[in-house]
Every structure is written in C-alpha cells, then in structure tokens.
Chain A
C-alpha cells in the first residue's frame, strides 16, 4: 500500500502497465505541443506582449506624458484631456493614484507605440471589455505596438490593488473609424 514500504525491496524494475505508459506518452506529447505552440504564436499570432522596456524616473516619465498631452489635446472629459495623436506616433499613458491619464483617441486599424508606466505604485492596465491586461510598474517604461481592431469607447480599469481609491481608478480609449468619419 501507499502507506507501507514497497513489498519488494527492488521495486524499480517492476513492469509498468501499458495504460500507464500510453498516458505518460500522451501527456508528454501534449506538453511538448503546448510548449512549441507558445513559440509558434510569436510567428503566426498577432498578440504577443512586447519585451521592449526602459528604466525611467517616474517624474521624467510624467513630464513626457504632459508634453504629449499638451501637443495633441483635442478636448476634455471630466477634467481629463482627450488626446488625438496622428497615426503611427509614440503615445503615452500614465497610471497614477487614481486615474489613467490622459484619454486617448486612436484610429481603428492604425498602429501606435504605446508607452506605459506608473507615477507611484504598481497598477494594472485592464482594457475593457476587450480584456487586455498588462502590469504597470513605476520606474519601468513599457513600449507596446498597439493596433485597435474595433471602433468604440473602451474603458481602462485598474486591476492591481493600489490603495483605498483603487476601485475609482479608470480611464478611457476612444477608437474612431477614420473611413466611416470621412463619409
């Protein structure tokens, strides 16, 4: 029994049942498949998290975001600037207690270099209802090439606990369909 020593002193050369061998083979192959599928997705998939990142002093990052927002501001939502950068440029988003700043207005189908960092604690960038979730650290500037594939208004919520106002930390990305606008 499992609670007593093996009855045979030499147990390691006992035969293994066929069903066990088959299951081990199946599980091993499935594991290898899953392993190589992660690698394959880097070549065949459109969703791979960027590994481009820089160390940055939070106040320096904050200045960059301010500059960016001033340059491209087109409006205002409840005190937060709405920023519409031209397609293809570097865009900046700041997580801080307790907001995502500023509101970004992007074009569907265009790619942007999105910079993400935090001014204070860790935050969780969570784009909803699309459900893209990325951790945001103070002191690290993460650069992600992002291409919105649908138009509409998307909420950003925070899903890393960041103190008592955590559940009030939100932001927004507005995606416009430029072709539809032109008509």
Chain B
C-alpha cells in the first residue's frame, strides 16, 4: 500500500484543472480526460490492426478462399491474438478505469504523469511484440507454449505492456483513495466504479501471473534458464490468459450498467445483489486456469472439478445474476419512462437507433447465450474432451470477447466520444447500423466456429483438406460449410469494425465540437425525471425480464444435456 500512498502524497499539491459536464453535471479532471482519450485512441488503433488480421485468418480458414500461405497464416494468427485480445482490450480497460474513478467520482486523477509513463510503456511493449512477430521467428501463437520458443523480445514486449497496464491499475486505486480523502462523493462508490474496482483487483492478479511466467520464459529464450516445464507453464500462463478475460467480464458488465444508466436512466434493481455478484467474481474467477488443463496428463479429477467450476459455479452465479439485473434494471427504467404496456413494450420502444444502447443490449444477449453457455460446457470436466483445442474453443471466446466485450466497448465509445472527446458523432446513420453489422458478424463467427468444432475441425490449422499429409484425412462436408459461413460472418464483422473505426476517427477529428446548449445526436436520459430510491422501488413488476431469463435458462439446460448425450456416444476411456 505504500506505493499507493506515495502516489496520493506526490499529487496532493497538484492544482487540478476541471470542467463541468453539461449533460451529467460531473466534474471532469482535464488530466484524466487527456489520458482517457490517449488510451481510447490506442485501443482503436490496435483493434483496427488486429481486426484486419482476424479477417485474413478467417478468409484463410475458408477452404474456398484460402487467402494466406501457411507461414503467413500462422504468423498473422499469432499477431491477431496479441493485438485484439491483449492490446485493444486492455488499452480500453485502462480508459474505463480512469473514467470510472476520476470522472464518476468527480475527483482528480492520481499522478497523471505516471499515467503517461504507463501509457508509453504499453505502446512501446505492444509495438515490440508486433515487431517480434512480424520478423518471423516468433510464430508461437498468442499462448507461446514451451518447448516452442519465441525470440526474447516477443516476451519482453508483453512484459513491458503488462507493467504499463499495472501502473494504470495503480492510478485507479490511488484515485479512489484521493476521492475518498477529499470527499468528492457521498456514501459508497457508484456501482459502475465498484465493477471497475472488481476488474482492477482481478487485473493485479492477472498481470502478476503474467510477469511470474513470462519473465522466466524470456530468460529461457535468452539461454539463461535450461528448461520450462510445459504443464507448469500452462497453469501459470492461463492465470494471466484466462483471468484477463475475467477483467473483461467485470469491465463490460460495468459498461452495460453505465450505458443503461446514461441512456435510459436505469438504476440497479438492488445495489446489494449487483455488488454481491461482482464480489463473487473477485472470489472465484481466478480459478479459471483449470479450463485449459482439463485434457492434460497427470492432474487429478478433484482438482479439475473444483477449479473448473469456479468452486461450484459461484462465479457463473455472478454472471447469471447480472444476466437478470441488467435487463431488469432497464425494464424497470423503461416502465418508469412510460413504456408500461404488455410484456415487451419497454423493449420494443427502447432506443434501438442509438448505437450505445443497441450495442449494449446485443452484447448482453450474445454474451449470455453464445459465450456464456458454451463456456460452461467447455469448462465441464468430461465434456471438454469433445472440443478441447477444436475450433469450438475460438468459437466460444469470440462469443465472449468479440460479441460480448468488444461490442460493449464499442457501444461505450459512442458515449465516450461526446462526453470525453466532446465531439458529436458524425455519420449517425452509419453509426446506427454499426452495432447490428458487427453484432451479427460476431455472432456468426462464434456459432459457425462452434459448429465446425463439434465436427472435429482443429483450431490454429491451415489446411482442413490435409493436402500435404502422408496419411490423408477428410472432414465431413458440414465442416467445410461451417468454415465458409464463418468466413462470410467475418466479412460482416469486419465491415462493422471498419465502420466503427471510421466513425471514431472521423468524429475525433472532424466531429462538431460540443459547446454549451448543444443537442447530442444520440441524447442521454434526462436523469431529473426519475425520482426513486432504488431500481425496484414501487414494486415494479418485470414480466419481460422474467420471460428473457426463462428462455435463457431453458436453452442452457437443454444444450448442457445435449452435450452429455454426445459424450456418452464416444468410445469408452478411463
């Protein structure tokens, strides 16, 4: 804690420079605002680079197109993973952390100069790793499993990036302490800040695990350490690799709540329940490293069962709770806004033309139905053998990270642009269709990869025709169809991604500056209209949400047992 206190002390004297937001009434520290902009811009740059790489990968895996030669395919796939899964997401998350601490708490940001140091480290690290991959001797995939070895600077770049990100996380904690000490808010921190705090705590665990495994691996690559045990590597590496996805979950659930609040005036149904659900993440999400060890030799069934289920599915419970409280709070808000007829008027008359809302709601639905359910199936001890390392796995995590996190962050960007960049969104009609294009594309790649994986197609594989194999093998025609559909979906998603980047860059450079009295193209909720103490007050009934979660639950149970049926048809092994 001394370092955090050091940050607080070092910045106590800084004369913070504030402006007051005309839409939300929040006091915005200009220093924080600049850092949010820088991190958001870097995020979008890496999304653009990594996203285009993803398109090339999908077009190569479409057998009829088969775009890249083998060597380039594996190289680009390695870079795709690092750029989108690490760089895009974590840059954006650092922006979210600064926003959720300094801006939402009306506080000055702790040590903005350190924030810039962290930012520079992250940029430099990300560039070094990209250079290492493009030089061609570090085609080890994002996971870099030993004994396969990359050049030392491949690991160095990721380590620098992680150190930079850790500084950003430290500033978040420092800002919370400043805000508390300077009493910039009353009572408890807002729910969105609480969710961001969850993400930050998991981030410390994650980034530390990354350092613990990547530093010795780099030394091994330099010839200073003789051997890295491949099984041990997987255990610790995935404490970074999978837990960093839990940062995403906490962060994007916070973004869902934030968009619900700003666009519709939604309140948490119950602070206690929503915060409790976040707290379950802190307690149990780190166990997920086990998801990557279910098909490995020599690990006991007891260890697998306890860890892979996040201790009796208590972290899954957290997500299922958010799955009710997020749409529930939106339904309650919409009913207060006057859309009270029938079961679904609140949903039909929701602002589907506002990309912040449509992106958020699509993200919520697809994260739950596609990414969430498939994740539990994959993480079931015995069922894992059906899809371990098949393309079902990327199918699952494109459902969580692309359809879920990325889409939620895109939706959040449509609020960051007017509120933080203070530019109104240009090309509103393009922005309006963007979440749908990207969402349908992302859902497509997830579902079709999962389908192909069920038919046995391997992940990270250049040629499902096995043309050059000595002993040939032929996949079923269905597998080829699935990979083709995956390619088409990837084109849709890429279109949505390109439009997103164009709108963001265009708005940042040429968007109309928002001055006093400006009316936003995609307006926020006029929060003054709502007077109630908490979201469920007045016992507003939520029939629509009940129908939604019932459909979700039935799909979950059905799909769960279908997979046990598949498993029971396999050869016997014990």
Contacts and interface: CB of A to CB of B under 8 A. Distances in A.
Contacts of B536: 16-17, 20
Given A128-B473, A145-B574, A162-B148, A35 B295 contact: no
B571 A132 contact: yes
A27 B471 contact: no
Contacts of B389: 124, 126, 133, 135, 159-160
A2 B458 contact: no
B471 A8 contact: no
Nearest to A143: B297
Interface in A88-126: 99, 103, 111, 116, 120-122, 124, 126
Contacts of A50: 573-574
Interface stretch (B218-226, B322-330, B347-355, B487-495): B322-330
Interface in A12-34: 12, 14-17, 19-20, 23-24, 26-28, 30-32, 34
Given A137-B230, A138-B147, A159-B389, A23 B321 contact: yes
Contacts of B545: 19
Given A128-B475, A135-B389, A168-B468, A7 B534 contact: yes
A141 B148 CA distance: 19
Contact of B329 (A2, A37, A134, A167): A2
Contacts of A37: 564
Interface string B350-388: 000000000000000000000000001000111001111
A57 interface: no
A145 B470 CA distance: 28
Nearest to A172: B471
A77 B473 CA distance: 14
B390 interface: yes
A170 B466 CA distance: 8
B470 A149 contact: no
Nearest to B453: A131
Given A17-B269, A170-B469, A31 B70 contact: no
A90 to B, nearest CB: 15
A168 B470 CA distance: 7
B316 A155 contact: no
A157 interface: yes
A116 B474 CA distance: 24
Contacts of B230: 122, 137-139
Given A3-B190, A128-B475, A159 B533 contact: no
A148 interface: yes
A63 interface: no
Contacts of A20: 269-270, 273, 321, 324-325, 328, 536
A132 B573 contact: yes
Nearest to A100: B471
Nearest to A144: B573
Interface stretch (B29-37, B107-115, B259-267): B259-267
A139 B189 CA distance: 51
B10 interface: no
A72 interface: no
A23 B534 CA distance: 19
Contacts of A116: 297
B321 A24 contact: yes
B22 interface: no
A9 B533 CA distance: 11
B572 A146 contact: yes
Given A138-B147, A146-B573, A159 B390 contact: yes
Contacts of A41: 381-382, 564
Contact of A49 (B74, B190, B385, B530): B385
Given A5-B185, A16-B273, A132 B376 contact: no
A39 B570 contact: no
A161 B469 contact: no
Contacts of A160: 145, 389, 460
B455 interface: yes
B301 A51 contact: yes
A38 B313 CA distance: 12
Nearest to B303: A51
B546 interface: yes
A11 B560 contact: no
Given A47-B567, A140-B297, A168 B309 contact: no
B571 A2 contact: no
A29 to B, nearest CB: 10
Contact of A3 (B261, B390, B549): B261
A42 B461 CA distance: 33
Nearest to B186: A5
A28 B311 CA distance: 12
Contacts of A134: 295, 385, 388
Contact of A148 (B385, B475, B571): B571
Contacts of A84: none
Nearest to A159: B458
B295 A1 contact: no
Contact of A121 (B147, B272, B385, B455): B147
A135 B546 contact: no
A146 B301 contact: no
B544 to A, nearest CB: 11
A28 B298 contact: no
B453 to A, nearest CB: 9
Most buried by B among A39, A49, A144: A49
A6 B313 contact: no
B42 interface: no
B257 interface: yes
B161 interface: no
A128 to B, nearest CB: 4
Interface of A: 1-9, 11-12, 14-17, 19-20, 23-24, 26-28, 30-32, 34-35, 37-39, 41-42, 45-51, 53, 77-80, 99, 103, 111, 116, 120-122, 124, 126-142, 144-150, 155, 157-172
Given A27-B316, A30-B556, 6 more contacts: A2-B192, A20-B269, A48-B301, A122-B230, A124-B388, A166-B462
The 9 closest A-B pairs by CB, nearest first: A31-B313, A53-B298, A142-B297, A159-B458, A155-B473, A53-B297, A2-B257, A27-B320, A1-B261
